[in-house]
Amino acid sequence: MLPALARTSLRASHVSAAARTAVAARHLSTSQVNSDVNRVTVFGAGLMGAGIAQISAQANLKVTLCDVTDKALEVEWSGWTNPGSCSPLSSRTRQAKVTTRKIKPTDIDRNGLNIISKSVARVAKKKAPEDVEGFTQRVLANIETTTDTEKAVSNTDLVVEAIIENIKIKRDLFGYLDKKAPASTIFASNTSSLSITEIAEACSDARQANFAGLHFFNPVPAMKLVEVIKTDKTSEETFKTLYEITKKMGKVPVSCRDTPGFIVNRLLVPYMLEAIRMIERGDATAEDIDTAMKLGAGYPMGPFELLDFVGLDTTQYIADGWVEKAKDGAVPLELVTPPQVLKDLVKKGELGRKSGKGFYDYSDAKK
Q: Is 76 helix (H, G, I), strand (E, B) or coil?
A: coil
pLDDT in tens, 47-56: 899 999 999 9
d(CA 198, CA 291) in angstroms, rounded, equals: 39
E-assigned strands of the chain?
Answer: 39-43, 62-66, 101-102, 143-146, 158-161, 186-189, 211-216, 225-230, 252-257
pLDDT tens per residue, the chain (367 residues)?
A: 323 322 222 223 333 333 333 333 333 334 466 668 999 999 998 889 999 999 999 999 999 999 876 665 653 333 444 333 333 333 333 333 334 444 444 433 345 677 898 899 999 999 999 999 999 999 999 999 999 999 999 999 999 999 989 999 999 999 999 999 999 999 999 999 999 999 999 999 999 999 999 999 999 999 999 999 999 999 999 999 999 999 999 999 999 999 999 999 999 999 999 999 999 999 999 999 999 999 999 999 999 999 999 999 999 999 999 998 898 888 999 999 999 999 999 999 999 999 999 999 998 865 4
Beta bridge partners of 143: 63
Q: Is 227 a catalytic residue?
A: yes
Report the top-level CATH class of 39-70+103-257.
alpha beta
**Is position 215 annotated as part of the catalytic site?**
yes
Residue 253 sits at the vertex; the CA angle it makes with 247 and 256, to the nearest 5 degrees, is: 150
Please state which architecture CATH assigns to domain 264-355.
Answer: Orthogonal Bundle (1.10)
pTM comes to 0.79
The pLDDT tens digits for 133-160 are 999 999 999 999 999 999 999 999 999 9
Candidates 193, 265, 305, 350; catalytic one: 265
- Do residues 60 and 40 touch, judged by C-beta distance below 8 A? no
Annotated binding-site ranges? 44-49, 67, 165, 170, 192, 218, 354
End-to-end Cα separation, the chain, in angstroms: 50
Q: Which of 74, 119, 142, 227 is catalytic?
A: 227
Choose among 3, 153, 2, 4: nearest CA to 64. 153
d(Cα 140, Cα 121) in Å, to the nearest integer?
10
Q: DSSP of 81-121, one letter per residue? A: GSTT---TTSHHHHTPPP--EEPPTT-TTSHHHHHHHHHHH
Over pLDDT 90: what percentage of the chain?
70
Burial 68-87 (b: 16+ CB within 10 A, else e): bbbbbbbeebbbbbeeebbb
Q: Helix 312-326 to helix 264-281 angle, to the nearest 10 degrees? A: 110
DSSP state of 163: -
Cis preceding linkage at 219, omega within 30: yes
Domain boundaries of the chain, sorted by first residue = 39-70+103-257, 264-355
The phi and psi torsions of 106 (rounded to 5 degrees) equal -85, -5
Per DSSP, the residues of 257-297 read ES-TTTTHHHHHHHHHHHHHHHHHHTSS-HHHHHHHHHHHS
The single residue of 34, 85, 117, 192 carrying the catalytic annotation is 192
Reported as a single tens digit per residue, the pLDDT across 215-235 is 999 999 999 999 999 999 999
Catalytic site residue from 85, 119, 215, 350: 215
In this structure, how many other beta carbons lie within 10 angstroms of the beta carbon of residue 92? 12
265 part of the active site: yes
Nearest residue to 346 (alpha-carbon basis) of 337, 357, 336: 357
Query: Residues forming the annotated binding site for NAD(+)?
Result: 44-49, 67, 165, 170, 192, 218, 354
Residue 149 neighbours by CB distance under 10 Å: 22
pLDDT digits (tens, 9 = 90+) for 259-282: 999 999 999 999 999 999 999 999
